[in-house]
A and B are shown apart, each in its own frame.
Chain A
């Protein structure tokens, strides 16, 4: 029975959309409270932003999404102009890892989420 997990995607192992819903409140609160990065999130409607956070988490969890690398570039280009760099990316990842730890996600799955998100770094930072 436990062997089933080997066939599950990372997204499914994390718990799918329920995991995204559980994580989004905690994660977004951390991001908005983090002085290193919260200026990037000023002046956006909170509900819309929360929807985007869900899109972010779904993607970070390896869930279904239609974003290409180019979309990630375009989506964050405005932020790169505002000075978005590696330190901000690291800060977001720190908040994401802390969120998952708070939700008692096993370390090995957190490592997988981290590795997956790192693959988008260059696109997000427009490198």
Chain B
């Protein structure tokens, strides 16, 4: 007999009962559909003990790693504290410890969390200002003992939050932020798998974090990064990434400009996802990461899939607004 904790209540699961049935028997309303592990409506997450692997079949491996499971298939082997996806609404405190420009309109921001936190590079957190204005930003650095988080924030001319970051946020000031969310991150254990990463603008932030994570795990499959922008002003980290490509023979970096008059050979010219998917044409067995402009993400997702990538191996963060 195991105990299931949900929403501050604890339930005992009867023999052979699934987590979903335990909750339903106790009149807890949670979403579900087919009860066969097909529709994924009953997705949940364990905050402590790992769920049985049999309840994670068909989920993305990044979700598996984060202890997501299908409650209709889950006959718990250990006590578990379970939540619905994204139901955690805890806010944490952090202090701004670094702020500088990466380019004319991109700011590098480093926060130090007051509490220890778990995250994967490439996930995002919601940053919240005192008056409640909240925006999502992706984590560009890997897990570290100092609980630091790095962000690349593009300043929009009329952007409520990003303008405030540019004009008013200062080192030493406090911000609140949510736990890390999302399944767009690296996962260890498949170090030989080829990776394709495509980003526009500050879509580079999560991709940069993922690449650093991959290299820290000694990923030895090919890693292809394509970073796109309209013109040169939108690219940043160019030198850093070129250096990285020199240092790691399996890392390839292609900065792309879509409407530049400067046709220098320093850059590829055209739309970033079209260039990337032309050069990496056969994606069977690949893992694909897509971040940034929603239209780009949408098109690239379909193209990557039609070119052989499994849907489960495509990780996307459209920066929707």
Residues of A within 8 A of B57 (CB): 17-18, 21
Query: B193 near A: Cβ within 8 Å?
Result: no
Query: B112 near A: Cβ within 8 Å?
Result: no
- B34 & A64 in contact (Cβ 8 Å cutoff): yes
Query: A99 near B: Cβ within 8 Å?
Result: no
Query: Closest CB of chain A to B40's CB: distance in Å?
Result: 6
Q: How far is the CA of A28 from the CA of B306 in the complex (A)?
A: 9
Secondary structure call for the A interface: helix
Number of interface residues of A (CB under 8 A): 22
Q: How far is the CA of A20 from the CA of B38 in the complex (A)?
A: 8
Question: In the complex, which residue of chain A has the Cβ closest to the Cβ of B307?
Answer: A29
Query: B282 near A: Cβ within 8 Å?
Result: no
Binary per-residue interface labels of chain A (10-40) against chain B in the complex, 1 for a CB within 8 Å, 0 otherwise:
0000001110110011001100110000000
Query: A72 near B: Cβ within 8 Å?
Result: no
Residues of B within 8 A of A73 (CB): none
CB-CB under 8 A for A51 and B305, given A17-B57, A25-B310, A58-B34: no
- B302 & A17 in contact (Cβ 8 Å cutoff): no
Q: How far is the CA of A99 from the CA of B212 in the complex (A)?
A: 38
Query: A47 near B: Cβ within 8 Å?
Result: yes
Query: A103 near B: Cβ within 8 Å?
Result: no
Residues of B within 8 A of A50 (CB): 311
Binary per-residue interface labels of chain A (27-68) against chain B in the complex, 1 for a CB within 8 Å, 0 otherwise:
011001100000000000011001100110010000111100
- B37 & A32 in contact (Cβ 8 Å cutoff): no
Interchain Cβ contacts under 8 Å between A and B, 18 examples: A17-B37, A17-B38, A17-B57, A25-B310, A29-B305, A33-B306, A46-B301, A46-B305, A46-B311, A47-B311, A50-B311, A51-B39, A54-B39, A55-B34, A58-B34, A58-B36, A63-B38, A64-B36
